[in-house]
Amino acid sequence: MTGEECKTLSHALAVAIREASATGKLAGKDLLLSSLKERGIPGFEEQESPDMEALLAQTLATHRDLAALTSITGETLYHSPTLLSRTYASILDRKGSPVVLIAEEVRMNSAQYPRPIPPDLFERAPFDLSPAEIEAALKCMAMSSEFQDISFTTTSTGAVYLFSTRHLERPYAAFLAERADTGLLSNP
């Protein structure tokens, strides 16, 4: 493949990644290959081609607005953080596994902001889990050693908030949950 061909393909891949991000999709190699085929751009027949790996690496190096993340399946996925933030991309990636989706979101919120979060957050977009799915995931976590850090606290109104004991001490989680549940609503 000539340098010019590489440049053309790299550009086409970047366009495909951005288009996917703009429509709320993460781009895996399958999607990128089919996108290239749809555009009539030859050069790749299968995704395991070593050239594909190198070209994607080159694409990321050239197009600094693009990024890669390792999926929970181990696959490398590509996105444009400007159009599809890392946070949002991670949620999309985990949507197939409610247990991981909830656990990682709870951990991230506890570590980063920090704050506990209400389970009904997961009923809303982009999580889109049903109450039954949330309940089943929480039960599953309770029985798995991998998720023993996922805990909950109950506010004065009886509302439940989830947090990770890795990142939040229980009394502080309780304080923050009460603030979110009643404090901020009655302190305009």
Partner 1 sequence: MATTNGGFAGKVLRVDLSTGKISFDDTVERYREVLGGTGIGYKVIWEEVSAGVAPFDAANKIVFATGALAGTGVPCNGRTAVTTLFPSCWPKPLVASGHMGGQFAAKLKYAGYDALIVEGKSDKPVWLFIRDGRVEIRDARHLWGTGIRRTTLEISQEMGPECAVAAIGQAGENLVPLSVVMNSVSHSAGGVGAVMGAKNLKAIGVQGSGSVRIAGDRSEWERLVKFHLSILGGNNQHVVPSFPDPHSEYYNPRSRWVGAPGRRWGAADPPVEINGGLYDLNRIAFRSNSGAFFLGEQAWKHTVRGNGCTGCPIRCHTILKVPSIAAKYGIREIAQNTCGGLNFGRAFFKALPGGLQSQAALEACMVGMHMADDMGVWCNYGQLQRDLIKLYYDGTLKAKIGSLEYASYSWDKYESGDPLFLFEIIPRVAMRQGELAQGLGLGTGYLLDHWSIPEEVWTKDSACAYWKLGHPKHHANEDDGQCGVIINTQYNRDSQCHSHVNFIRNGLPLEVQKKLAAEIWGAPEAVDGVGDYTPMNMHKARRARWSLVRKELHDSLGLCNWMGPWVASPLKERGYSGDDSLESRFYSLATGQQTSREELDLIGERIFALHRALTIRDMGEMDMRTRHDLAPRWIYQDTNGAQAFTRGTIRMDPQDIAKAMDMFYELMGWEKATGAPTADAYARLGLKSVAEDLAAKKLLPGAKQ
Site for partner 1 in 52-81 (CB under 8 A): 81
Interaction of residue 86 with partner 1, rule CB under 8 A? yes
Return d(Cα 188, Cα 59) in angstroms, integer: 48
Q: Work out how close the CB of 18 gets to partner 1 at its nearest, in angstroms, rounded to a whole number.
A: 12
Separation of alpha carbons 38 and 83, rounded Å: 22
Q: Tell me which of 3, 50, 145, 186 binds partner 1, using CB under 8 A.
A: 186
Kindly state the smallest distance separating residue 143's Cβ from partner 1, in Å: 27
CB of 127 to partner 1, least distance (A): 8
**Position 136, amino acid:** A
Helices 50-62 and 29-38, axial angle in degrees (round to 10): 90
Peptide bond into 126 cis (omega under 30): yes
Q: Any contact of residue 40 with partner 1 (CB under 8 A)?
A: no
Nearer to partner 1 among residue 11 and residue 179 (C-beta): 179
CA distances from 18 to 8, 12, 15, 127 (A): 15, 10, 5, 22
Contact status, residue 128 vs residue 183, Cβ threshold 8 Å: no
Minimum gap (Å) between residue 121 Cβ and partner 1: 5
Residue 43 binds to partner 1 (criterion: CB under 8 A): no
Footprint on this chain of partner 1 (rule: CB under 8 A): 21, 24, 81-88, 91, 112-115, 117-118, 121, 124-127, 157, 169, 171-172, 174-176, 179-180, 182-188
